[in-house]
Amino acid sequence: MKIVVAPDSFKGSLTAQQAADAIEIGIRRVLPQANIVTVPMADGGEGTVQSLVDATGGYLVTAEVVNPLGKMCRAQYGFLGNTSLNDKSVHDDTTHEENSLGDCTAVIEMAQASGIQFVNELTMNPLTATTYGTGQLIKDALDRGATKIIVGLGGSATNDGGAGMAQALGVHLKDADGNELDFGGAELARLESIDCSQMDERLKYVEIILASDVTNPLTGSRGASAVFGPQKGASDDMIMQLDAALMHYAKIIREQCGRDVENIPGSGAAGGLGAGFLAFTRASIKPGVSVMIEATHLKEKAVGADLCITGEGGIDSQTQYGKTPLGVAQAVKDAAQQCTVIALAGKVGSGAEILYDMGIDAIFGIIPGVSTMSEAIEQASENVSRMAENVVRLVHSSEF
């Protein structure tokens, strides 16, 4: 029997790889000789880098960058393992031209440099928070030979439209007196000119894929400021100020760069970082789980599968909107139409049954009885293994 194991993380308790390992343990209690293919997954948010590195046999690197408050921090990102370049060529001081002969894919979570975890109730301020550090991670990846970069958009503390990211890569954003703008979304109201003449030349040749399950535009009632500003500390007055600044920013980009990014679905992701990438780089936005499926070659690995076990911490009616379990189910069934897809969850919430008509055949909660949150986290690995074992016993006895 061929079984594909492709879970997301169980947030707060298991990484995607740990969840996959726990599922495999449960399966082998019943079918020790089964052909098990493990593919750790994510949806573009937290855990995307680790999942892709684990799924492809890649590795992590660390860089010193600026956090949203303008202070130095250490941020990790990864390189995929399914690349034609060996590790030495990526780490050595070789030129971009030499490395560009191979497929060298870096994967970055913007939150590692510009995330909300760097601020608290006293320090969060979307008027001044910057994505400069995310741009520094892009530059570091280019220095290491990246020819393709996947960027997970999510968990940001910023609302600067990707202006800081662009500045880190050599774009000059100037006011009426020709002075460089300071960090933060509020500064964009003073933007008068954009100078891309000193932008990193390597960006002309590098494909950037933005992984996001957010489809919000840059501005307006569904835009970055109105929808996501409050969780970053924006008051009603701040939201109006930031939205007006982003509208002005989009206008200058349209007039001087010839790109209209204001209303593109996803341009409002990560405080408008999506718009910044679309304005200044060869970037495209895709659903996060679709990026994961493509990067891990999930469909190819699922050909001929009899059973697929996926899952994540919580599954409910919102899972239909770009979450990992449904994306996995649909991808696997594209490759193996008769494959049974089972989803495991720490919590099965309201409306989860809608997923039965969309590709998931059954959903099981992993908690065996009443327990505290700390107990559930501590016992997560064994609970996942136990439920995977029970699922395989049922499927094996009834179908195979």
In tens, the pLDDT along 7-40 reads 999 988 999 999 999 999 999 999 999 999 999 9
Total tally of structural domains belonging to the chain: 2
Inform me whether the pLDDT recorded for 74 exceeds 70: yes
Inform me whether the pLDDT recorded for 180 exceeds 80: yes
248 with 354, same domain: the answer is no
Q: Is residue 293 part of a domain?
A: no
53 with 35, same domain: the answer is no
24 with 85, same domain: the answer is no
187 with 242, same domain: the answer is yes
31 with 67, same domain: the answer is no
Query: What pLDDT is attached to residue 399?
Result: 58
Q: Is residue 17 part of a domain?
A: yes
Q: In terms of pLDDT, which residue wins out, 377 or 94?
A: 377
Q: Report the percent of the chain where pLDDT is more than 70.
A: 94
Asked if 32 and 18 count as a contact pair (C-beta separation under 8 A), the reply is no
Q: In terms of pLDDT, which residue wins out, 103 or 197?
A: 197
Q: Is residue 295 part of a domain?
A: no
Count of residues making up the chain: 400
Q: Report the percent of the chain where pLDDT is more than 90.
A: 87
Token pair of 150 as six digits: 């996947």
* Alpha-carbon dihedral angle through residues 236, 238, 240, 243, given to the nearest 10 degrees: -130
Phi-psi region of 155 (alpha: psi -120 to 50; beta: other; left: phi over 0): left
pLDDT (mean) for 310-335: 95
231 with 327, same domain: the answer is no
136 with 6, same domain: the answer is no
Query: What pLDDT is attached to residue 90?
Result: 39
Report the CATH number at residue 323.
Answer: 3.40.50.10350
Of 26-30, 209-213, 258-262, the poorest mean pLDDT is in 209-213
Number of alpha carbons in the 13 Å side-chain half-sphere of residue 238: 22
37 with 113, same domain: the answer is no
Asked if 268 and 222 count as a contact pair (C-beta separation under 8 A), the reply is yes
Helices 288-296 & 48-56, crossing angle to 10 degrees? 20
DSSP code of 14? B
**Last residue within a domain, chosen from 256, 286, 316:** 286
Query: What pLDDT is attached to residue 89?
Result: 37
**Residue 43 amino acid letter:** D
C-alpha closest to that of 35 among 371, 257, 313, 304 = 304
Inform me whether the pLDDT recorded for 101 exceeds 60: no
Report the CATH number at residue 108.
Answer: 3.90.1510.10
Q: Is residue 294 part of a domain?
A: no
**Last residue within a domain, chosen from 252, 286, 320:** 286
pLDDT (mean) for 194-200: 97
130 with 103, same domain: the answer is yes
Helices 288-296 & 324-335, crossing angle to 10 degrees? 40
Query: What pLDDT is attached to residue 11?
Result: 86
pTM given for the model = 0.87
226 with 311, same domain: the answer is no
Query: What pLDDT is attached to residue 387?
Result: 97
SS3 for 155-212 is CECCCCCCHHHHHHCCCEEECCCCCECCCCHHHHHHCCEEECCCCCHHHHCCEEEEEC
Q: Which domain holds residue 348?
A: 2-41+304-398
Q: Is residue 261 part of a domain?
A: yes
Q: Is residue 71 part of a domain?
A: yes
**Mean pLDDT computed over every residue of the chain:** 93
Q: Is residue 299 part of a domain?
A: no
The pLDDT tens digits for 384-400 are: 999 999 999 998 887 55
Q: Which long-range contacts (C-beta less than 8 Å, at least 24 apart) are formed by 198-201?
A: 198/170, 198/171, 198/172, 199/166, 199/169, 199/170, 199/171, 199/280, 200/139, 200/142, 200/169, 200/170
C-alpha closest to that of 363 among 313, 315, 331, 328 = 315
Q: Is residue 118 part of a domain?
A: yes
Asked if 120 and 166 count as a contact pair (C-beta separation under 8 A), the reply is no
196 with 321, same domain: the answer is no
Of 24-33, 82-91, 121-130, the poorest mean pLDDT is in 82-91
**Last residue within a domain, chosen from 229, 255, 286:** 286
208 with 131, same domain: the answer is yes
What is the rounded CA–CA span in Å between residue 242 and residue 234?
9
What is the rounded CA–CA span in Å between residue 155 and residue 219?
19
